[in-house]
Structures are given as structure tokens and as C-alpha cells.
A and B are shown apart, each in its own frame.
Chain A
Amino acid sequence: MMRKSLRDIPGKRKKGDGIDSGSTLRRISPLLTVACLLLLWQWISARELISPILVPPPSAVFQAFIDALADGTLLKHAAVTLEEMFYGLLLGVGIGLVIGYAIAKAPLLENILSPIIVAFQSTPIVAYAPLLVIWFGSGIASKIVTTAVIVFFPTLVNTIVGIRGVSPNLRDMMRSLKAGRWQTFRHLEAPSALPVILAGLKTSTTLAVIGAVVGEFVSQGSGLGYLVTLARNLYDTPLVVVAVLTMTAISLTLYGLVAYVEWRFLAWQRRPRP
């Protein structure tokens, strides 16, 4: 087929022609950064430049990790945080998508809602999280709400931008094809806004951890945020580090998941220009 011959045009990138080795270096360079930081950390601890109570050596952190894993503490608290994040994301992203779409379609709605939304967004969540605990109790509900509130905004803004960015010419074309509301949404608005919405979702997932942990700080009980407070009170610095790094891992994994969805569903964006 023609596809093949298009790919074989001289001057196009091919495997093993030197460009790839460059991109391999680029791909592993984040890992190199992490490795260097670990080495630096080990070196500081080994020479006891800083007290081990302040900065525990990697070995102590690893031991704390193994212990917390073995007695089930880590998984128990991580599962709680994950659950809060999951429902928080579902709620916040869901509401963000719906209100974002409505605002994009009806500019009047933006005038009505923007004072509330902007006020919510510009008030630090840490400040009003206690209020949320008073309203929603000290159980999982208040943490879901703090997460939802924090992930709502990026989703909202990106949905508005994405839907408003739909090409007016394509809208005209859909109208001339007698497409209904649902068809216009499904065939034009949704796929056209998807790249921007997914970019917003990437931001939202990383914020979700913050939302859940802020909730856990404010109302104690369980979760990785609670584990941090608990370990700090016991001067168990290695466990604090373990809990923090677990949050990082969760956040990175979710981010990677969205990045994968992006890669998978936006394949058309990677197509080469002729």
C-alpha cells in the first residue's frame, strides 16, 4: 500500500539512524536525575552531614517501607487515600465537565456562576477544609469533597476552553449535514475538545492527592495524610518519608494513566505532516 512508500521517503526518521539514540538518552534522563538525587542523599547520610532524625538514610527509609508493608499499615492507609481520590475525582471531574459544557454553550451562565467559582478557587482550600469537615463529617465524605473541590477547577476551565475552541466552520458543516445536538456533541464537540480536557485531567489527578491529604490532615482517622501526622508525632521520620513517597507514587501513576489514555486516543495528533 501507499502508506509504506510514504514512510520510506528519504530524510524521514528511521530506526537506528542516530536520532533514536538521542531520544533514548532523553527517555532515560529522568531516571538519571532520580538516581543522582538518591546517590546525593546516601552520601549526605553516610557522612552524617545532617542528623539522621532530620534526614534519615535511604536504608532506614527502605526498612520503614518494608515494615509498613509487612504489617499492612501502608496498604491500609494508601487504600483509604486512593478511595477518597477516586470518588473525589469522579465527583469533581464529573461536575466540572457538566458545568464547563453548560457555561461554554451559554455565556450568560458564566456571568451568573463565575463569582462563586472564582471565589471558591481563590480561597485556599486548607483554610476552609475544617468547614467542610464540620459540614460533611469526619468520615470519608469530607475528604471526597475536598478532593472534588480541588480537581473541579482545572476540569471546568479546560472544558470551557475545549468546547469554545471547536472550529466554527466544522459547526457550520455539521449544521448543513442536519446533525442533531447529540450527534454534534459526539462527532464534533467531544473529540475536538478531548485533547484540552485530557490536559486538564492530568492537572486534576496530581491535585487529587493534595485534596485527599488536606482532608486527612484536618480530620484524623486514616489515610496517608493521617499516617504522616501519626509518624511525625512519634518522631518516626523514615515512616513520614515513606508515606510522602507513596503519595508521590500514586500521583505519578495516575498521571501516567492519563498520559497513556492521551497517547492511545489522540493517535491522530502524532501523524507526520506531508
Chain B
Amino acid sequence: MRLSLRELSVSFPDPEGGAAPALGPISFDVADDQFVCVVGPSGCGKSTLIRVLGGLLPATSGEARCDDELISRPPSQFAIMFQDANLMPWRTVLDNIALPLEIAGVPRAQRYEMVRSLLPQLRLEDFEQLYPAELSGGMAQRAALGRVIVQQPRVLLLDEPFGALDALTREKLSLELLRLRQRYMQTIIMVTHDIGEAVLLADRVLVISRRPGRLVEDIAIALPRPRKPEMKYHRDFIQLSKRVREGIEDINA
């Protein structure tokens, strides 16, 4: 699915009765099947961007379209993953991952079968009966990833999905995401503040300015796939990371 943003901007009401601009105006297109990472200083409206694309927040002006359809409420075939795993503490891992299917009206036996076929790839097959309070951060985030994949979305929106994890778990999970992507999904837009993560995963990195966020750099990442962690030491990777970093530093200068 293709996405296109045209002069999109969002502002929030401020205490004095005015409007505080939070994002944009910003315009860009995302091609079908593209993996785009959005980086920028904290508070630049990255999360707001994800919420608008996910149909959870209306744009103040301008528009966001998906295959020429205006996004005004959560579109079908979109899935969102947030920084917190956001699991329901009263549901087991199995039932948490099965939630989207349950809401879609898939019968119990069938949805359990679907989730169980997915669990080994998430490395959660031995933990399906555990409750979120019993999970480590990485396990919880893998369950959240499972809840997204089970929806078989055509567009996946990720809001710093691994931000709360330690560096190693984070890298492992992001590579798992790439592996799962090859099988299950297409277009991905991911917000992150980790330059290395952005370059390692994406086809394209967008650098957003400080609040209200505007597009300042659009960098194509022409590294071969499949991506591997060793690539981080490759000359091209370092070059690209440097360009992204310079883009961000220009904003701060």
C-alpha cells in the first residue's frame, strides 16, 4: 500500500486558548513495500505522525492518504505497535496475541491455531500461558509484535517499538522484525531515535526537524538485503549513518 502526506500539520490547543503547532507542514510519499524509518530530536512530533497515519488523531490541516483513500479513522490492514508492549495484564500471552482475531470475530479454536503457529517464530512457544507481569521486557515486546503480525497488516506503523529495551535485545528484536517482515508484511513506517537501528533496517531514512517537525533530509539506504549486524562495520553503513547524524546535527546547530 502506498502512503502520501500532503502539507500535513497537527497542532494542539495550548492553555492560553491558542494552538501549539506539533508537526509539519510535512509532505512525503511512501512506496508500496518500503521500509521507512523516521528519526529526529525528541518532541519533534514523531509519535504524532504515527498517530495521524494510524487514524487515531485527525490532522489539523493537510491530509494523509493511503492508496488515494483519505485516512480519517483507523484504516483496515493497518497495525500499530507502541513503545510500551501495551499488553492486557489480565490476558495470557496466547490471549493477548489472539486479541485482534477475537475482535475480528475469528472462532476460538481457529484463532488459537493461528497464534500457536506463530509462537515459535516469536520464541514464545513455551510461554503462551504466562501473564504479562511474568514476562521480561523483550518477551513482552515480542508478544506485542505477535499481536501485530497476527493481523497480517499491509501497513505497519511502529512508534519506537524497541525503545525501552537494552541495546542487544533491541538489535536482536529488530532483526527478527526484518525476518518476519519478509513473510508477513509490506510497508513499514518506524519511528526511532537510534540512528544505527534506522540505517540497519530501513530502505529510506527521513530526518525530521525540531517541533513542529518538518522534513529536512530524505536519505535512501541502498544496502543489500538481508541486513546483518556485521554490516554496521561496513564503510557504506558508516557513511550513511554519518549523513543521518549530520542531518540531525544541522537541526540542532
Contact = CB atoms under 8 A, between A and B. Distances in A.
Contacts of A175: 56, 74
B103 A271 contact: no
Main DSSP-derived SS at the A contact region: helix
B90 interface: yes
A6 B129 CA distance: 12
A273 B88 CA distance: 15
B interface, size bucket: 20 to 34
Interface stretch (B21-29, B38-46, B132-140, B160-168): B132-140
12 contacts: A2-B126, A3-B129, A170-B88, A173-B80, A176-B55, A177-B103, A179-B103, A187-B88, A268-B91, A269-B89, A271-B131, A272-B133
Contact of B74 (A169, A178, A183, A269): A178
A176 B89 contact: no
B82 interface: yes
Given A1-B126, A169-B82, A191-B90, A176 B134 contact: no
B156 to A, nearest CB: 11
Interface of B: 51, 54-56, 74, 76, 78-80, 82, 84, 86, 88-91, 99-100, 102-103, 126-127, 129-131, 133-136, 151
Interface in A58-92: none
A187 B87 CA distance: 12
A72 B132 CA distance: 53
A39 B84 CA distance: 56
A178 B76 contact: yes
Interface of A: 1-3, 6, 167, 169-170, 172-179, 183, 187-188, 191-192, 194, 266, 268-269, 271-274
Contacts of A192: 88, 90
Contacts of B56: 172, 175-176
A268 B86 contact: no
Nearest to B101: A177
Contacts of A272: 133-134
Contacts, number: 68
Nearest to A178: B74
Contact of B102 (A3, A187, A271): A187
A167 B36 CA distance: 29
Contacts of B127: 2
Nearest 5 Cβ contacts at the A-B interface: A2-B126, A271-B131, A176-B80, A271-B133, A268-B90
Contact of B134 (A187, A194, A266, A274): A274
B134 A271 contact: yes
Contacts of B131: 268, 271
A178 B133 contact: no
A187 B99 contact: yes
A273 B139 CA distance: 13
Nearest to A191: B90
A166 to B, nearest CB: 11
B74 to A, nearest CB: 5
A167 B103 CA distance: 18
A3 B127 CA distance: 7
B50 to A, nearest CB: 10
Contacts of A178: 74, 76, 103
B126 A176 contact: no
A84 B189 CA distance: 60
Nearest to A1: B126
A167 B84 CA distance: 12
A274 B79 contact: no
Nearest to A180: B103
A184 to B, nearest CB: 9
Contacts of B79: 176
B60 to A, nearest CB: 19
A191 B78 contact: no
Contacts of B130: 3, 271
